[in-house]
Structure 1
Amino acid sequence: MAAASTVTVNVMLAIHAKKTLSLDMHKPLRQYIVYHYSERDAQDMEDDLQTVQQMRNDIEKGADSSEARRDLLQRYYRALTVMESRFPISNEKEHVNLSFTWYDAFKQGRKASQQNIHFEKAAVAFNLGAVQSQLALSADRSTPTGLKQACNCFQASAGAFAFLRDNISMKASGSAASTVDITVECAGMLERLMLAQAQECFFEKVLADNKPAALCSKVAKQVGLYYEEAYAALVLPPLSQHFDRTWVAHVQLKAAQFQAEACYRIALELHEKETIDEEIARLKAASHMLAEAKKSGRGVVAPLLDAVTKLEGNVNRNLERANKENDRVYLMRVPPVETLPPLPTAVLVKSTPQADVLDASKEKMFAVLVPDSSAKALSKYTEMLDDIIRTQAEKLQQESEITRVKLKEMDLPDSLQALEGGAGLPEQLREDVEAVQIDGGPEGLESEMRQLRDLRRVNEELLVQTEELLEKEAREDAQIRTQFGTRWTRPQSSTLTKNLHDRANGFAANLKQASESDARIERAIRDNMPLMSILDARPIEAALPSLARPIMSLNGDEDSIVGALRIKLGELEALGQQRAGLEDMLKDMKRKDNILPKLMTTSGSYEDLFKKELAKFDPVCAEVAKNVETQEKLMQQIKAQNDIFAVTFNLEDYKVSREKAYKQIAAAVAKYREVRENINEGLKFYVTLQDAITNLKQQCSDYVMTRNIQCREMMEDLQRQIAGLSFSDSNSSARNYPAVGTAQRAQASPATNPPYPPPQQHQAPPSSALPQYYGTAPGPSPASQQQQPPNQYSGYQPPQQAAPGAAPYYSTPPPQQNPPAPPPYYSQTSAHQHNPSQHPPPQHNYSQPPYPGWQGPYYNAGQPTQQTPQTVSPPPYTYPPPAPGSYHGGPPPGVSWRH
């Protein structure tokens, strides 16, 4: 809208620099060095003396660019800081007699002269802020880069004036021979003015970026506040009669402009929200502010007056439109603007600190001029001052600690909070309860137990599946052994699988004991749930007792007792804040205390100077002593009031019930942790046991697969023997005479059932006569791969070596080229035959954990302990995870793993 045009021409102010008269600094400084040191030292310092003189001459001329003058002023200020500690400048005979003369920046006809280096430093700091403002004004604010440069320079200018106000003004403007422009009041006003113009740069940016009207209002509101603060300083002494009227009118009009701008911008947002009543009130306030400001805006530049006039036109047009809409549509009552909440602000600028750029700690000028006696005296004075500061600080800290302990003994202010239902837990107990609640609390234990039961069921199912593998293979082996009789020379399954059965029995015993442990944990949860349920209270303070008022009141003065105690505690808190302020005051006084120039210029005793300087700290030390004394008296009064309070509200009984509640909560936490730890150990046990059972199942699968391969090969060999064939002609006869199965042999001779049917009656055996491995078609053995016709079997191929972790009771020989004779198939003398006498089943010791090597608190979980509620009993169970395939323990006597 038209508001954008109000910032197209933005008038801002820059500060003129102070003028000075020429000054010869070289000669007086050199004479001082010669007199107090030596001619040789003067010659050594010649370069530094000429540098200082040249910088002073350049500042007097002031003909360079603004950037060069800014850098020159910063270097010269650091040089003055170095000189301050080495050259005493005054009108005394043995000091450096230098008279610095400077004109007032706002009253060019007024000047002042002082033999005071702080006067020179104040003028330099003022000019530094003035140059920064000129750099800001010269920037092209129509571009984003120029706008940013102007904003930064205005903030740097504000920082220079703030540095002048906080560090130099009091030392330079104390005498009558001074100028108004370097006073504290003027420096503060200029800082506000520069911040207002820096914030105004941000206002131009948010308008250019088409930011929301609410944000523009916040930025404009802060601009107006900065201008109002500057205007308030301009109308008060000593500035009220010092500045030209156009200055005051400019700042006043700017303040009104941006206060109205804030109202206008927020009114745009209110119009979109159809908050017509507040929109009208804001626009009326803006119109009134602009009209009043224009009355006193005589003498301001025309562009500023035009901008205000355009803004006023926009405000009035929107106000007229809003009134018409309200009269025709909304019919809302317009509230007085005084009843509306103040507009929010957004502070986007701050004074740029100048301490770093003006720090002279790294300057090397006149470095050798500090006398050794002065350095030693300064060190001694510093030690004396540190002792005073340390002593007073210890008094304050000790008193604070004594107060804290005494209040804790009287149970304050906790007892007063308990009266309002705000009693809390000790910090450590609170953290324990929060940890339990984050962990799920007692309500979450049931879900953990369900997971435990699910894991146990999975282990049991795996063990049943493992058993079924072995039983199926044993049934098939017994069936074939019955069929072939003594010709079936392969070892029996019961002989080879004894070790696997033993391991399975051991796992079954483990699961049985684990089930008992699970039951004990469930009982522990069920039995202790009434205790642990207190942990589900949210917040936990709801489970604590409250300090109640007496049922019967004798005189009804309970409120006055509580009120008096609260007043005393408030006074105690105020004393504590005062102690903190005194400690900060001591540190600040120490930081600002610099007696080096006085040490270098004194002609009397150092001790007298020390006594005089340290006397500055006597008032603060007296305040410390007074604070301590007052607090001691106050603590006695609080103790008396608390005794009355304790009797009236029966505080002792409350403390007993509260401690009982604390112990109950602590016991609940301990029991919860104990149960949770047992559950975690159970989960870890079942996961580890599942890996071990899975490994055993895999070994049983490998065993069954190998036995199937051996069965097929032995049947083929027997069939060849029955057919009267040899290994040499097996290749030619395999295609014409397939193997004969059991059923065919029985049909060939049903009466006599001869063991070997004639060759001409050979037929292929049925598929049911050959044992299968879980539906996998058996493949040819390695030893008979060359004798089998291609594609006769297309199933499992036997492994060349046993799988890792497999039991040592079977072995598959590698294939050979043209074997002279059929390989032996697990004869009774085979080296791989299992000998039960070599692997006797280990006896189970019930006093030890059933799973060797396990260490964990799972077994015997839930056993009752005789411990206090605050102590969690050490885990009574050990059960570490076994390495897969490494367990060879036997079953306990009388334990069967069958389910």
Structure 2
Amino acid sequence: MASPPSRGVPQKVTSDVDFSSHLRSVIQRTYGEAPDHYTDEIHQLNRARQDALRGSAGSDVTARDLLYKYFGQLELLELRFPELRVPFPWNDAFTHVKIAQLSLAYEKASVIFNIGATLSSLAASSPRSSPEGLKRAFHSFRCAAGMFTYINDNFLHAPSTDLSREVVKVLVGLMSAQAIEVFIETMGPSAAVTKGAGLRAKLCMQASMAYANVIEEVKEWVTKNVFIREWSLLIQASQLTFFIFSGDLFQVKAKYFTSLAQYNRSLADSTSLKYGEALARLNIAEAAAKEALRLANAFAASFSTSSSASSLAPDSPVTLIELNKTHLGIVTEAKNKAQKDNDIVYNEVVPSEASLAPIDKGKDVAEPIAIHDVYATPEVQKIVGPDLFIKLVPLSVHESASMYSEEKAKVVRGEVERSDLADGELVAALEYMGLPASLERYRTGTSGQASLSDVGPQVRTWSEQLRRDEAQGRVDDSFRKLQQIKDNVTRQLDSVLQGLDQESRECEAMRVRFDHLWEQTPAAGLTKSYRQDLRSHKESLEQASHSDAQALGLWDGVKNDVALLCDPSGQALERAFIEAVGSASASSSQANLLDDPTGDEDEEEEIKKRVTSISDNLSKLNKVKKERHDVLKDLKERVQADDISHLLILNRKGSAALEPSLFATELDKFRAHQSRITATLQHQSSTLAEISADFKVISEGKKAREMQGRWGEAERHKRDLITRLGHAAQTYGEVRTALQKGLQFYGDLSELVEGLNNQVRSYLQERDGERSQMASSVSVKQRLEAPSSTTSPSLDRQFGAMDLGSRAGENPSWASSTPPAPPSHYSSPPPPAPPAIPAYPQHAYSSPTPAATSPYSNFPSSGAFSTTLAPQPPSQYSAYPSHYGHNPTSSPPPPPPPSQPYGASAPRPPSSSILPPPPQPVNYSGLPPPSQPVPYGQYSVPALPQHQQQQQYPSSAFGQSPAPPGSTPYQYGGPPPTSSYGGSQAPPQRPHYLPQGQPQPPSRPAY
């Protein structure tokens, strides 16, 4: 059977509105931001209004969604811009009068009215022949009723007729009545239904009463030309028909559902054996059906001339007439059958209509769906989309959001504190019992002590490091190299001292021979600086030897342990650990021989059971702890992501007293996390109690105490071995660092001693040459001044025995070059010029190279390697003056003519002019210049010879400039001796190798 026709509510019509100028002004004035930043958002708002309202969007799903979206954005817009004033023009849906207002509320009410009209059109157009169509129509009618209800409750002063309370109340009643009608249709055709006829009768009466309430209200507005006359006819003709507004009109029915209600109640009375009442209700139903058919014929007659006929389907009047005819035939047939049965069989009295009990309408089945429920669904939220002006948040919302954030932070802090406290209790309890490490002892017994023989990662690291260091250079080889360099330095110093002593003896011997005629400067004053340098170098060498002995003592103390660590195969190290642990087990085994060999098997079984229980509970504790941390992490993430700014904006117009309740409601979202954390805390407490009880039983047993003792001794032996190896590794590093510094020191000292050797060698050669010339001059002078008598043979023998000038031909191996002329105060007349003395080459001293950086820079430096540099005193040496009384670098005077004898009667020249000329100065300018003074970094070095730094030799003689003032000599192994450079210098303080608090090893080298 076809459904009754339905008509919808006409939509309101509007014209275009531009939000741009008004919104830009409000944004700049209220929020103080640049309106240009929100150009896109304003354009989207304008576009949303145009899509939803311009040209009266059609009654389909797309039009409904566009209206949903625009109204949602209007709600959000009003929360941010309540002071917005934009002229919104709307035409009345019934009178078509154009009314414009500046209020957003008017715009919202008009949009909601169109949403309700569109929903009614969707419901009316839904096909009711399928369950899906009936369900869609039922839901749309209820939503439409909710929209009109919202208008009626929130907009009290309507500017237009269609928004007035009276008109909107009619629309709400019509939507509810038609929703009931659709619900009745979902129950199936009434002729085929006998079961549940009573319920169906209640629903039909509910629809009939809904339409009856609308009839009077429609009549009043029909007389005012708001509703056209066809609406009233539809209501009267189909009093139980559901209608939906779509386009311009709404449809109503009246008498049809009254007849349908009485018919279904008669079926229920027949089932209850109330045949008289059933017959009476069929009579009432037949009368109502006839009246409905008459009104349907009247509606069909006016349909062709009605101005609204074009908005209905062409077959709507025919469908309505056929529906009522069919229903009238069913009711008439049922009444005739009931009348016949009652006359022949039942013979019950048929009561009058007034005496019949009224049909109860029952509970309302078509409650309007509120607009908040519609917009709360995910589908509508997705349609509305995000707030266009989400970046503009009012200050009051910011303040409320900050207060809510603080409430969330309190929740998180409380749970973090509880979790941290539980973790601390768990760690403290397990540490007190030594779990889970001590559990392995009880599980394996003495057989588990083999695990202690493992070398461990720390010792392996030491071993690998020492093997790498030994591969770069063995410590024993470094000691041998150190001793070789030291021996070479010692030999050179002894050779220099021997040369100076020999030269001094020869000078004094010549002074004894020639007495006052011998005017060569004594060697003591000239060699003072050399001897001071020698003494300084020897003292440094002695101190360094003491440091070497200390380093060697340290090395001898750890050599065997280092050999264990440096074993390439690692087997020696493993054997050492096995022996250390095995020695503890052996001693424990000897002690156990005195015990009863028959152990307590029951105690062992109890220990195994308790150990298994503790192990299981430890696994549970780990799971509980992990779960607590996971829940806490998830709680933090959810709190961080939680944002109720949109809710605060929606409730912005509410009072401040609503905030606490809103906060409490929102914080309840985290109640589940708090409950889960509480459960983990309770589970942890109970599990720890079980572990403590089991561990107490285990630890108090005799077997347990024995195992604890054996394990403790084995661990102690292993710990002692690791400590010893660690000390060996540390000492090895210190010794290696000391050796590197020592090699650097001896290398620098060797270069300095070599330089001193070259200086002394040059000095000795110079003195030998000077002595030879002076001996020749003195001999000539003696011959000139001696009487003519012949020298006695004894005196000749004495002179011959002195072997004058023998040093010139018997120089030691290290005297190979002619030095500059030594100083002399000789001023007696010179003898005839002797043969020219060859000029010996000079060897310039080059400074030592800087020391390499030690790879063990993290070890302390002390002693002779102290970084303190003493100030360099000035040299007491001055340039050697010529013993001939003239500048040695000047050209020698020309010798006298050979034709003139020494004893001629010519005037005797000054005594100095008859002396032989000094030797030609040797030009050393071709030698390479010396290197710059080497910065020896943090190592103290032996003192440079004073004459080597500041002796005023000509640059051509030695090829180098004097050392700059303030240069620092080496200091090696203790306080330096008094030097000719400027006095003694305080030795630097040498820190000890080992840090504070460690056991003191044998004395360390003070490098």
Q: TM range, normalised to the smaller chain?
A: 0.3 to 0.5
Whichever of the two has the greater Rg, that structure is 2
Structure-1-length-normalised TM-score? 0.45
TM-score (norm 2): 0.41
